[in-house]
């Protein structure tokens, strides 16, 4: 696992040698003594667009920064995070180890969005870099000088960023070192560090539960599967019935005998849903939110050998449902089906599953958002959180015609539908195993970046962690 952690965040009452002055208008320049000689020149550049103006001095570095002006809340916060990502580049280019962000804004959320952008953009995965290629960023501490921002606010940003970093680390780890068993050990370590309980079911216990989907996908692997149960239940929890978070945990996906012929690289990211659940638990527990949550992560790889399932096989799921497998590369829904059935025993208030499930979803949303389906469960608060953290949700209907598409000629249902609406038929398959309020999130588009985009750095993004945390905090805490 990466030893990388977020930069230290501290509330201070004075400036330092490297100062970032966050402004919202030209008037704010009056209070910046270091900008006195350049005030007119800087003022000419202050408008609706983003502004970053550096002033080198003998005592250090002064940066005047302003986020792009946006009216909509979602874009406003996002422009602030994007500004933070740009500031991170400047600070590291200047080899600054410590910097102070000075803000007079009365809106703490705007200042915190800039802080979040700096922190998230500063992430690195250097486990397998050697020699001169292993170059950690210089920035290790960010001080915040702002009356509207509290120490508690900064601790929360740190906790959520740490959870996001954990999710990114899990996704970025290569399959040669991260299998179901080793991942379960790392989840257990994360639970001990941040304060949530982890129970790991091994293959014998999975067999005893007759989880046919998980066992079926695992048949082609030399590594045994695991079923991970995460629990956080503080004494002051405000909900008696838990919110259950279910995450797809395919540590590597070859496609099975329906082998991926176009793109197999990056398939280590096929456990992004499970990684997000882990990260959300780390953030919730570290922040001590008064909520009762349960996490379920079925974990295995999807590989090929003489025992692997093939198209035309029929699997008996934990629920007793018999599923005709027509495509072994539609494996995520098979392992999630067992987890969703397992969730029934908790009589949950709500179940949310996250999965890098379909290419169809990625083609619709790209990295800009998440494809969502539900069984008429109220999704309004989750959508609000999505807009706030910029992990936006695009909702798709599950019309009855899509249920017809997964009817099987030889079993109860089949694991794929037709050519159209692939992300919807996948959700429809999962819906068969739910009898409680349920929301499905297909994160295939934004889970892995092939290049840096502001604070979403190349590799695993940890998408879902910030979304789940904000939703649970504002719904229950």
Q: What is the CA radius of gyration of the chain?
A: 23
Among the listed residues 86, 162, 333, 414, the single catalytic one is 333
Q: Give the model's pLDDT for residue 2.
A: 46
pTM of the model: 0.96
CATH class of residue range 8-149:
alpha beta
Q: Give the model's pLDDT for residue 3.
A: 53
Pairing of strands 293-302, 249-253: parallel
Among the listed residues 26, 76, 210, 260, the single catalytic one is 260
Selection from 180, 169, 189 nearest residue 223 by Cα: 180
The residues, ordered by sequence, that sit 6+ positions from 60 with a Cβ below 8 Å of its Cβ are 16, 17, 18, 19
Q: Mean pLDDT, to the nearest integer, of 123-129?
A: 94
**Could you tell me the CATH superfamily of domain 159-475?**
Zn peptidases (3.40.630.10)
Selection from 434, 251, 468, 256 nearest residue 354 by Cα: 468
d(CA 106, CA 114): 14
- The answer to whether 372 and 442 have CB atoms below 8 angstroms apart is yes
d(CA 67, CA 78): 9
Give the model's confidence band at 33: pLDDT under 50 very low, under 70 low, under 90 confident, else very high: confident
d(CA 64, CA 403): 56
Selection from 123, 314, 321, 338 nearest residue 249 by Cα: 338
End-to-end CA distance of the chain: 31
d(CA 277, CA 473): 15
Pairing of strands 459-460, 448-449: antiparallel
Q: According to CATH, where is 3.40.630.10 located in the chain?
A: 159-475
C-alpha angle 465-471-474 in degrees, rounded to nearest 5:
135
d(CA 66, CA 29): 11
Q: What tokens were used for 159?
A: 């906790």
Give the DSSP letter string of 359-380: HHHHHHHGGG-EEEEESS---H
Give the model's confidence band at 373: pLDDT under 50 very low, under 70 low, under 90 confident, else very high: very high
**Left if phi > 0, otherwise alpha if psi is -120 to 50, otherwise beta: which for 256?**
left
Q: Mean pLDDT, to the nearest integer, of 350-374?
A: 96
Q: Which residue has the higher pLDDT, 32 or 164?
A: 164
pLDDT above 70 coverage of the chain, percent: 99
Quick check: is 414 catalytic? no
Quick check: is 260 catalytic? yes
Q: According to CATH, where is 3.40.220.10 located in the chain?
A: 8-149
pLDDT tens digits, 380-390: 999 999 999 99
């Amino acid at each position: 696992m990466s030893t990388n952690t977020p930069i230290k965040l501290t509330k201070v009452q004075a400036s330092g040698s490297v100062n970032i002055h966050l402004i919202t208008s030209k008037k704010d320049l009056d209070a910046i003594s270091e900008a006195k000689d350049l005030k007119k020149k800087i003022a000419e550049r202050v408008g609706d667009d983003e502004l970053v103006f550096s002033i080198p001095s003998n005592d250090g570095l002064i940066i005047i920064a302003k986020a792009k002006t946006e009216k909509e809340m979602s874009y406003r916060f996002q422009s602030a995070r994007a500004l933070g990502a740009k500031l991170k580049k400047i600070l590291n280019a200047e080899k600054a180890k410590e910097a102070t962000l000075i803000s007079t804004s009365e809106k703490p959320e705007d200042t915190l969005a800039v802080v979040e952008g700096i922190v998230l953009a500063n992430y690195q995965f250097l486990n397998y870099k050697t020699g001169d290629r292993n170059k950690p960023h210089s920035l290790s501490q960010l001080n915040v000088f702002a009356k509207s921002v509290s120490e508690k606010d900064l601790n929360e940003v740190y906790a959520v960023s740490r959870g996001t970093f954990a999710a990114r680390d899990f996704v970025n780890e290569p399959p040669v070192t991260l299998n179901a068993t080793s991942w379960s050990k790392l989840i257990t370590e994360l639970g001990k560090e941040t304060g949530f309980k982890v129970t790991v079911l091994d293959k014998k216990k999975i067999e005893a539960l007759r989880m046919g989907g998980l066992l079926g996908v695992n048949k082609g692997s030399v590594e045994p599967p695991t079923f991970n149960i995460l629990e956080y239940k503080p004494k002051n929890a405000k909900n008696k019935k838990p919110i259950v978070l279910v995450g797809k945990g395919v540590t590597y996906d070859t496609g099975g005998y329906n082998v991926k012929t176009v793109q197999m690289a990056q398939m280590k990211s096929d456990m992004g849903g499970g990684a997000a659940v882990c990260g959300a638990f780390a953030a919730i527990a570290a922040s001590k939110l008064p909520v009762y949550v349960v996490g379920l992560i079925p974990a295995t790889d999807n590989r090929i050998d003489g025992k692997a399932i093939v198209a035309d096989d029929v699997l008996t799921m934990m629920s007793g449902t018999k599923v005709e497998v027509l495509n072994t590369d539609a494996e995520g829904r098979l392992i999630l089906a067992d987890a969703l059935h397992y969730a029934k025993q908790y009589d949950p208030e709500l179940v949310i599953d996250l999965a890098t499930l379909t290419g169809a979803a990625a083609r619709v949303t790209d990295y800009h958002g998440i494809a969502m389906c539900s069984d008429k469960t109220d999704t309004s608060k989750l959508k609000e959180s999505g807009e706030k953290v910029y992990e936006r949700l695009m909702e798709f209907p599950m019309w009855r015609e899509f249920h017809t598409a997964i009817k099987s000629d030889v079993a109860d249902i089949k694991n794929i539908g037709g050519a159209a609406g692939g992300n919807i038929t996948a959700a429809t398959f999962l819906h068969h195993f739910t009898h409680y309020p349920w929301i499905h999130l297909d994160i295939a588009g934004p889970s892995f970046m092939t290049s840096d985009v502001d604070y979403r750095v190349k590799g695993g993004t940890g998408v879902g962690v910030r979304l789940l945390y904000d939703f649970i905090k504002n719904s229950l805490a």
